[in-house]
């Protein structure tokens, strides 16, 4: 993700061997640095996502609403979600991370 033409956040899908999980797992990194800011683990159907720090502290949870699940089942598209963020966590980084995760693999040119 870029701000004023400069990268400030990098979101990458982690492989199953690196994450040691069959569930979809993403890493949120600061710019191009090697240090992981958050590890994001989704359930198998990507209905919920848990944001944890490298030390294992849960900082945020995103879940699709029942309304979105019904729309997804009927129309193939439902995007409503609820996001619970722990106090003291940078909300803009969590929201930017979610936006990045939803666009992993898509070109933003």
Note the pLDDT tens digit of each residue in 39-55.
Answer: 998 887 667 889 999 99
Percent of the chain with pLDDT over 70: 81
**Cross-strand bridge partners of residue 3:** 6
Percent of the chain with pLDDT over 90: 18
Contact in structure between 26 and 9 (CB atoms under 8 Å):
no
> pLDDT, tens digit, for every residue of 3-23?
566 677 888 887 776 666 777
Taking residue 97's Cβ as centre, other Cβ atoms within 10 Å add up to 24
* Rounded distance between C-alpha atoms, residue 39 and residue 42, angstroms: 10
Handedness of CA 105, 1, 84, 21 (dihedral sign): positive
Whether residue 106 is predicted with pLDDT greater than 70 in this model: the reply is: no
């Amino acid at each position: 993700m870029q701000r004023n033409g400069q990268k400030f956040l990098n979101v990458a899908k982690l492989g199953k061997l690196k994450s040691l999980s069959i569930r979809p797992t993403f890493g949120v990194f600061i710019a191009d640095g090697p240090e992981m800011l958050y590890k994001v683990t989704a359930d198998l159907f990507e209905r919920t996502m848990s944001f944890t720090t490298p030390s294992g502290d849960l900082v945020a949870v995103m879940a699709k609403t029942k309304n979105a699940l019904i729309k997804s089942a009927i129309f193939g598209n439902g995007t409503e979600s609820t996001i619970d963020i722990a106090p003291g966590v940078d909300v803009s980084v969590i929201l930017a991370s979610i936006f990045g995760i939803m666009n992993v693999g898509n070109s933003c040119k």
